[in-house]
Structure formats: C-alpha cells, structure tokens
Structure 1
Amino acid sequence: MNTNLSGKRALVTGSTSGLGEAIAKMMAREGAHVVVHGRDAWRAEAVATAIRVDGGSATVALGDLTSDEAADAVARAAGPVDVLVNNAGAYHHASWFETTPAQWAQSLDLNVISGVRMVHRLVPAMRERGWGRVITIGGGLAIQPMPMQPDYQAALAARHNLAVSLARALAGTGVTSNVVAPGAILVPAVEQFLREIGKQRGWGSTWEEIEPTLVREMVPNDVGRLGHPDEIAAAVTFLASEHAAYMSGAVLRVDGGTIRSVA
C-alpha cells in the first residue's frame, strides 16, 4: 500500500526515542518531511540525521511543551504542518497512594495539556487549508486501567476523549482526528524495566526466556508477545494517509488483543 505522504509535512512530538522515533522514521520513508521534536538538541539532531542519511527529509524543533513560550517556539520551528502526531508524554512507576496531587497535575500537563497547546497552534491553519491529520498516541490503559500509574492512565483516557471531541469540532473541514492505542511495546526503556522485573521474579536471564512468562503474567494477549515500535508507526502512517480519509474520531488499537471488547 502506497501511503503517498510525499509533499506532506509532519510534526511528531517526542520523537527523539522510542515510539516517536519509529513514527518519525517511517513517515520519512513514506515521503513526508518530518519535524523531529524533543528537548535535547543532540538527540533530536541524531534522529534527523539518521532520517537524512536514509534518504528522507527532516528538520528539528526543540522545546518543552509544558511551557506556552516553548510551545510557541516549537510551532514556529515546525512551520505549517499537514500532520500533527501528539506523541510526547511521560510517566513514572508509582501506586495510587504514592502518587501525590502535584504529580497528578504534572502528569496532566505533560500528557494532555502539552498536546492541546500544539492543537491550538497548528490545527487552525490545517482547517483553513482544508486538509490535515491529527493523530494522538493513547493506550490500552485508558480503557482497561491497572492499580499502578493512576495519574498516567487517567491522562491517557483524557487523550482519547479530547481526540474524539476534536474530531467532532473539525467535522466537515477536511481535517481528521484519530487515536492509535498501543499495548505494551518493546521500546528500550520498557525492555530494561521489564528485564529487571523478570530477573527478580525468576523468569530467566535473557529476553527470550523472560518474554513468554511476562506476557502471560502481566500483559496477556492473543499474539503472545510485546509489540514492536514499527507496528505502531505503521498504524500512525496509515492514519496520516489518504487511505484513512473516512476515519475520524476512531481509536485504532494495536495491542495484540490485550483489550478484549465486542465494541
């Protein structure tokens, strides 16, 4: 399938590592000019350079999206974009009663308000041009939460909700808003954390030994493994293309069947 993103300009927030990096690189391979975003200049430029070495087109926009002034700078550096991928976010490993109200507020700013800032700055111009894509990275924990990370899970639910609300607000404009909801994805930070858990629980010493038991005990799904970053990137790239023109307000789950629902 040719996604034909040539001539499109895409900003992927939080794209200096993990899912964001995979999304940026795949969209660039599909012909889009990608704006790599992060807070660290060296890491952002490393991703942009890798894209250019691979034959793609990329520039960098730097800034902490929890600041209005930095969000303004990111929007200026990005320029008029056709595709906004709201991926930036962060979480910590804490239980309900360890998570303070201040951490709840911080999580809301990091994971929700940051994306709202970019929507306000970039989407009105999409609407004026009559074409655009807003893709929010959500997650299965928005639908099926666990006892841990309550602030982050609530923020994910808010991301899902705001993306659908935005779709309704953009009805008839040529701009769509959708969600990609990953399951547990094997990015380096997640793998490191889960390896430690696996060793502590006696599941093995190598990833090949740890993964089957980890999936069975912690994230049971129909596929029997964790997802890979490129599997999420493919879903995002599809939603950015003309092939997804009839999708708006949708939640596209890419989770190996972790979330079980008939809806």
Structure 2
Amino acid sequence: MELGLKGRRVLVTGASQGIGAGLAQAFAGEGCDLFLVARSAERLQQVAGEARALGVNVRAMAVDLTTDRAIDEVARSAGDVDILVNNAGSIPGGTLWDVDRAAWRKGWDLKVFGYIDLTRAIYPVMKQRGSGVILNNIGNGGQNFDFNYIAGTTGNAALMAFTCALGGRSLEDGIRVVGINPGPVDTDRIRKVMCGRAEKLFGEAERYDELIARYPLGRPASVAEVANLFVYLASDLSRYTTGTIVTVDGGIASKRSV
C-alpha cells in the first residue's frame, strides 16, 4: 500500500528507545527523512545509524527538552518539517501520596508541557506552508483513569483535551493534529513497571509475566504494531483525520462495563 510519505521530513522526540526508536525505523522504512531528538546521545546515534541504513537522510540532536531554550533550539534546528511526532517523556506511576510535587512537575515538564511547547513552536511553520501533521503519543491512561497512576492519567487526559481542541480547528490551516493512545507496549519501560508491580503484589519481581498474561492476547502490543499506526495516521490515506484520539490497547480502555 502506497502511503505517499517518501521524502517527507519527520521530527521525532524521545527517539532513542522504545516506541520512539520504532517510530524512527517505521518512518525511515517509508522513505522519510528524519530529525531525531532524545537525551541519550549514545542510544540516539545507534537508532539514527539503523535508520540511515534504510537509505534516508537522518539528523540527530541529543538534548534535554526540559532545559531552558531547548524547545526553541530543536524547532530552529529541525526547520521546515512535514510531520511532528511528540513522543518524549514518561510520567511516574504511583498514588497522589507516592508522587511528590517535584516528581509530578518533572514528569509533566517533559511530556505535558514539552508536547504543548514544541507544538507551539512548530505549528506556525506548518501554517505558513499550509500543510503538516502533528501526532501526539499520549497513552490510554488518559481514558482509563488509574488511582495508581494518578500523575500520568491526569497528564494524559490533559494532552487528549489539548489534541482535540487544537485539532478541531487546525485543518483550517492545512494541519492535522491527532493523538494516539497506546496501552501496554513491549518495551523496557513496561517490563520495569510490571516487575515493580509483581514485587508489590507477590513479593517477587520475577513473577511479572503473570501480570502480562492478563493483557489481551496474553501480551502487550509490539512496538511495530503501535509505530505502524502512527505512520498510517501521518499519511495521505488519513488526511481527513484530525482533532481525535486513536486508541490501540487491545480493548483495555473499553473493557469496563456498567
């Protein structure tokens, strides 16, 4: 299936691992040129090298997006991109009393305000050109409210509202804004989270596979399953999609019944 993405310029944040690394590979596979951003220079260069092997142009920038002027620096260096994928950041788990003020704000500075600030910086460039796509990797915690992930569930819900509010009008500027809500994805992060929960529930971190077995199909989503959805939503085949959230979690957020 031809997605019409060849030669498009894609900016991906949080690109050094997990879904971000998968996004770099997926967009490179469609012939897109990449500008990859992450904090870890070593891992970022490895991901960039793997993408270059697919025959596309790749630039990489190691930077902490929470530092002063970092967002402006990224926007200036990235230049005129066709697709922005906000993907950087993870918000700590825990209850209201587990996540103190500093940890809560640190998590939101990178993910919630990072998404908002980079969108604010990139949007005018897209508007001037009259085209562009902004994809926000949010997470199904914004739909499936979780007492034990209260900072994340609240932050994700805010990003869902931000995405829908902006995307509801953005097509007037030729821009599409879409949110993607993955559920559990097979990454180092989810394994670490599940080990922590197994330790808390069973007293043995090694029993995390018992928790994973409760997911739909007995497993988390693969990185490729999530990354391929982003690629489709960025493509011309999805050019009427904006101001909405697409959830890919095996039905977890919809499983609750009255």
| TM beyond 0.5 | yes
Q: Once structures 1 and 2 are overlaid, which stretch shifts more, 158-167 or 52-61? A: 52-61
Q: Distance in 1 between matches of 2:212 and 2:149?
A: 19
C-alpha distance after superposition, 1:104-125 (max 9, x if no partner): 2222212111111211211111
Q: CA deviation at 1:94?
A: 2.5
Q: Distance in 1 between matches of 2:71 and 2:231?
A: 24
Residues 131, 255 of structure 1: alpha-carbon distance in 2 compared, 3 angstrom cutoff: same
Contact 1:60 1:77 in 2 (8 A): no
Contact 1:140 1:182 in 2 (8 A): yes
The equivalent of 1:180 in structure 2 is 180
Residue identity in the other structure for 1:259: A
Are 2:255 and 1:254 equivalent residues in the alignment? no
Q: Distance in 1 between matches of 2:249 and 2:85?
A: 19
Residues 157, 187 of structure 1: alpha-carbon distance in 2 compared, 3 angstrom cutoff: same
Structure 1 runs not aligned, ≥5 long = none
TM-score, normalised relative to structure 1: 0.89
Q: CA deviation at 1:171?
A: 3.2
Matched residue SS, 2:171:
coil
Residue identity in the other structure for 1:116: I
Matched residue SS, 1:65:
coil
Q: Once structures 1 and 2 are overlaid, which stretch shifts more, 49-58 or 232-241? A: 49-58
The equivalent of 1:120 in structure 2 is 120
The number of equivalent residue pairs is: 255
How is 1:1-263 mapped onto 2 (pairs within 5 angstroms)? Answer: 1-195=1-195, 197-198=197-198, 201=202, 211=209, 213-215=210-212, 217=214, 220-221=215-216, 223-260=217-254
Q: Distance in 1 between matches of 2:2 and 2:22?
A: 18
C-alpha distance after superposition, 1:144-171 (max 9, x if no partner): 1222121121111111111111112313
Q: Distance in 1 between matches of 2:68 and 2:126?
A: 20
Contact 1:61 1:78 in 2 (8 A): no
Q: Distance in 2 between matches of 1:210 and 1:261?
A: 22
**Alpha-carbon RMSD:** 2.2
Q: CA deviation at 1:68?
A: 4.2
TM-score, normalised relative to structure 2: 0.90
Q: Distance in 2 between matches of 1:24 and 1:4?
A: 17
Residue identity in the other structure for 2:202: R
Structure 2 runs not aligned, ≥5 long = none
Q: Distance in 2 between matches of 1:112 and 1:145?
A: 17
Q: Percent identity?
A: 28
Residues 98, 65 of structure 1: alpha-carbon distance in 2 compared, 3 angstrom cutoff: same
Residue identity in the other structure for 1:256: G
Q: CA deviation at 1:189?
A: 2.6
Q: Distance in 1 between matches of 2:40 and 2:102?
A: 25
Contact 1:15 1:21 in 2 (8 A): yes
Contact 1:181 1:251 in 2 (8 A): yes
Q: Distance in 1 between matches of 2:189 and 2:34?
A: 24
